Amino acid sequence: MSELNGKVAVVTGGNSGIGYSTAKKFKEEGATVIIIGRSIEKINTAATQLSVKGVIADVSSLSAIDNAVNQIKSEFGNIDTLFVNAGVFTPVPVGQITEDMFDNLMNINFKGAIFTIEKFLPILNNGASIINLSSINAYTGMPNTAVYGASKAALNSYTRTAATELAPRKIRVNAVNPGPIATPIFSKTGMSEEQLKGMEEAMQNRIPLKRYGRPEEIAELVTFLASDKASFITGSEYNMDGGVNINPLLVG
């Protein structure tokens, strides 16, 4: 039986990577799916491929989120699942952090995530599920990720408090912390092909399972957390990292 039959699910950043794979899985499990993204072309292409609804919104803009919520409420009514997935990754070493880079990361990864939830709360059904996409970088101290990791650590802290405060409405709030996943997010950093290859080799050496994860694997966990099978799970974090976080010094 389909796990999300009859449910309405929203996925931010749903046009690629983990968001795209999760939207696909939600659809396969019977949900009515809406994907949100800031690129008209990419959202329209993904929505057509997935046969889902596409909505244009940049989550760093509160007015854009308002417009998306109003559009979804008008067309679909209330929703049952909110996957807060939109995010950006910009590697930069301490000592070279700029205000623009800081603001961009925090506006999308933290502020954008919080206000996505704030704006959608009025149209979330009681008993709904919110899943925040975080990262093991909230804990690893990986070089060049000081601001990115801080944005995800802040999101995890928010997740725990939101889970407590929304419990009276039976709304569950959980976070998923992926490790290295094979998605387009790394290619958007501006790093050269050689740099990307070097980073991939270095990261795989630290992964006990010796490979990157797949977006489809994250989608399986997110779908479980969205389903009634996870009805007693809230305020939790799930690491999906091939063992990186338990072996942070592993090499070779």
In what order do the strands lie in the sheet containing 8-12?
53-56, 32-37, 8-12, 79-84, 124-133, 172-178, 237-240
Q: How confident is the model over 134-148, as pLDDT tens digits?
A: 999 999 888 899 999
- Judged against a pLDDT cut of 60, whether residue 168 lies above it is answered with yes
d(CA 133, CA 176): 5
148, 158, 212, 238: the catalytic one is 148
At 79-112, the pLDDT tens digits run 999 999 999 999 999 999 999 999 999 999 999 9
Lowest mean pLDDT among 85-94, 154-163, 172-181, 196-205: 196-205
- Phi, psi for residue 218 in degrees, rounded to 5: -65, -40
* Whether 71 contacts 49, CB under 8 Å: no
**212 counts as catalytic:** no
Least confident residue range of 7-16, 24-33, 175-184, 203-212: 203-212
Cα–Cα distance measured from residue 71 to residue 64, given in angstroms and rounded to the nearest whole number: 11
Q: Which band of pLDDT confidence, cut at 50, 70 and 90, is reported for residue 218?
A: very high
State how far the Cα of 90 lies from the Cα of 92, in Å rounded to an integer: 6
Sign of CA dihedral 181, 234, 228, 116: negative
- The overall average pLDDT reported for the chain is 92
Indicate if the pLDDT at residue 183 is higher than 90: no
Ordered structural domains, the chain, with CATH: 8-246 (3.40.50.720)
- Indicate the pTM of the whole model: 0.91
